[in-house]
Structure 1
Amino acid sequence: MHIHPKITPIYQTSVFKFEDLNEVEQYFGEPGSRYLYSRNGNPNSDELAAAVNRLEGGAGAVATGSGMAAIFAALLACCQAGDHVLCAADIYGGSSSLLDQELSRLGITVTYVPFEQLYSLGQLVQPTTRLLLAETMSNPLLRVADLRRLATECRQYGLKLVVDNTFATPLLTRPLELGADIVLHSVTKYIAGHSDVTAGVVVAKGEETAARLKQIGVLYGLTLSPMESWLAVRGLKTLRLRVREHSHNALAVAQFLSTQPSVRAVYYPGLPDHPQHMLAREQGGGLFGGMMSVLLADDEEVVNQFMRRSQRFPFAPSLAGVDSSLSYPLATSHRYLTVEQQAELGISTGLVRLSVGIEPVEELLQDLKQALK
């Protein structure tokens, strides 16, 4: 009996069987011809990696156990002990913690680059500098990096450009086409999209880097499990519809919030007064995503009241699910930065980050209206 499932089944197995020694030799002699052990690769994680690789236009990808594992793999693919890394100062707090607390122990040093200095790296480049790590849209102030310009700057100094494209998704921006060497995602966010998966993926532009990523994934044990991979692939199938709706809702929410007297600022690339609005329009194909930050009064009690009153934006410190949520960078993603670093990045007591979902937009506006009263 031949079974032809339309959807890839969940290969919930840690190991695969061999008939005899000939089959084992075939496994080692013809890479990709069959499976041996789920850490080395399994049909589900390979399917997810291939799908995101196709969306990003890469030469190969690996699916990892989290977005942090994806960042780790990307950095390790380019660096060894004694190397130096440049990192955009506007970056996810976990990325800076990884560099500061762990990779520093392996002899990899880091210099943080202020947003204003991203396109003139000359004074910061050392003989051992290997790469620049940046985000398409920064976390949490949604500053948009000009990736084409950044790639040109990196090439001038022989650096790899590694881009975290989580906020934008491949539907808004494809960093490899704009000159990046590696692109990564926290699949936990928009790619899976339903707040029920923890995963990451790293995509390489070149085949040599892709092979290196594969080796890191296997030897460090970063490979994503079959069940999580299957869920992420299922989520990915509606990415196009979701991103369109997230973007539509977020623009309406941003426009509404910018008229509210209790809101001091709205950081959203879709608003015409955003400093990189035109760049975001061009780089995002006219969509601006579902993420924004708003500045309320610098008073903890005001923030607490807003959180308690809102019914549609629960305080759930992650992002990009189909259901809206809010986060508080000062207490979660960026809490381990020094007070000076937080101030430099504009992360103050009143800053709240909103992840706008795909609910009926009128319900979201109504909820925000009553929460801000």
Structure 2
Amino acid sequence: MHIHPKITPIYQTSVFKFEDLNELEQYFGEPGSRYMYSRNGNPNSDELAEAVNQWEGGAGAIATGSGMAAIFAALAACCQAGDHVLCAADIYGGSSSLLNQELSRMGITVTYVPFEQLYELEQFVQPTTRVVLAETISNPLLRVADLQRLATECHQHGLKLVVDNTFASPVLTRPLALGADLVMHSVTKYIAGHSDVTAGVVVATDPELAARLKQISILYGLTLSPMESWLAVRGLKTLRLRMREHSHNALALAQFLQEQPVVRAVYYPGLPDHPQHALALAQGSGLFGGMLSILLADETEVVNRFMHRSQRFPFAPSLAGVDSSMSYPLGTSHRYLTPEQQQQLGISPGLVRLSVGIEPVEELLADLEQALR
């Protein structure tokens, strides 16, 4: 009986069988010819990695157990003990914690570069600097990096550029095409898209770097499980449609929020007065994504009232699901920064980040209107 499934089944197995020693030798002699052990690779995680690799136009990719594992793999592929990393100051809090608390113990040091100085790296570069880590759209203030300009600057100094493309997704921006060396995603967010998967992916533009990622993934045990991989592949199939709706809804909400007296500022690249609006328009394929932040009064009581009143934006510290949510950067993603760092980045008690879903936009507008009232 021949079974020809249209969709790749879930290979929920930790190990694959061999007929004899000849097949074992084939496994080692012809990489990619067959499977042995799910940590080394399985059909589902390979399918996800290859799907994102195609989207991003890379030479190879790995799927990992989380976005944090993806950041770790990307940095480990470029650095060893004694090396130095430059990191955009506007970065996901988990990325800075990884660098500060863990990679520092492995002898990898970090310097944070203010957003305004990202394209003038000379003063920050040391003889041991290997890599620059930045985000396409920063978390939580939605600053947009000029990736082509940044890649040119990195390569002039012999550095590799690693881009976290989670907020944009490859629908908006494809960093490798703009000169980046590695691009990573928290697949948990837009790629899987339904708040039911924890996963990451790293894509390399160079085959050698891709092979290095694969080695790190196997030896550190980062490979994503079959079930999670299958769900993420399923989510990825609607990414293009979802990003359109996320972007459409977020722009409508940003325009509405700008008109509200109690909202002191709206951070959204789709607004004409956003400092990088023109860049976001050019680099974002005419879409601006589903993430925006607002500044309310710098009083936790005001934020709490807003959270209690809103019905369509539950306080859930993640993002990019089809259902809307809100988060509080000061208390979650950026709580481990010093008060000075928080202040420098503009992360204050009144800052609330909205992840705008794909619900009917009039329902979201009505909910925010009553919550702000």
Query: What TM-score do you get using the length of structure 2 for normalisation?
Result: 1.00
Structure 2: distance between partners of 1:306 and 1:12:
44
The aligned counterpart of 1:367 is 367
1:34 Cα offset (Å):
0.1
In structure 2, give the amino acid aligned to 1:184.
M
Residue by residue over 1:271-311, the C-alpha shift from the partner in whole angstroms, topping out at 9 and shown as x without a partner, is 00000000000000110000010000001100000000000
Aligned to 2:268: 268
Secondary structure at 2:167's aligned position in 1?
Answer: coil
Deviation at residue 339 of structure 1 after TM alignment: 0.2
Question: Does residue 317 in structure 1 map to residue 335 in structure 2?
Answer: no
Kindly report which structure 2 residues correspond to 1:1-373, keeping only aligned pairs within 5 A, or say none: 1-373=1-373
Q: Stretches of 4+ moved more than 6 A in 1? A: none
SS at match of 1:38: coil
Q: CA deviation at 1:128?
A: 0.3
Q: Deviations over 1:145-176 (max 9, x none)?
A: 00000001001100000000000000000000
Secondary structure of 1:90's partner?
Answer: coil
Aligned length: 373
Counterpart of 1:190 in 2: which secondary structure?
coil
Residue 87 of structure 1: SS of its match in structure 2? Answer: strand
Which residue identity lines up with residue 116 of structure 2 in the other structure? Answer: E
Mapped to 2, the partners of 1:325 and 1:172 lie a distance apart of 21
Equivalents in 2 of 1:252, 1:191: separation in Å? 23
Question: Which residue identity lines up with residue 6 of structure 2 in the other structure?
Answer: K
SS in 2 for 1:286: coil
* Runs of 5+ unmatched residues, structure 1: none
Q: CA deviation at 1:94?
A: 0.1
Percentage of matched positions with identical amino acids = 86
Structure 1 SS opposite 2:82? coil
Question: Partners of 1:240 and 1:152 in 2: how far apart?
Answer: 29
CA distance in 1, matches of 2:285, 2:356: 19
For residues 87-108 of structure 1, give each alpha carbon's deviation from its aligned partner in whole angstroms, at most 9, with x where no partner exists.
Answer: 0000000000000000000000
* Structure-1 separation of matches of 2:324 and 2:173: 22
Aligned with 1:39: secondary structure?
coil
Amino acid at match of 1:310: S
Measured on the aligned residues, the alpha-carbon RMSD in Å equals: 0.2
C-alpha displacement at 1:242, in angstroms?
0.2
Q: Report the Cα distance in structure 1 between the residues aligned to 2:124 and 2:193, rounded to whole angstroms.
A: 37
* Cα displacement (A) at 1:44: 0.1
Deviation at 1:133, TM superposition (A): 0.0
Quote the Cα distance in structure 2 between the aligned partners of 1:227 and 1:52.
Answer: 17
Q: Determine helix, strand or coil for the equivalent of 1:6.
A: coil
Cα displacement string for residues 165-190 of structure 1 (whole angstroms, at most 9, x for unaligned residues): 00000000000000000000000000
Give the secondary-structure state (helix, strand or coil) at the position aligned to 1:285: coil
2-side partners of 1:286 and 1:243: how far apart?
11
SS at match of 2:105: helix
The letter of the residue matching 2:286 is: G
The alpha carbon displacement at 1:257 in A equals 0.2
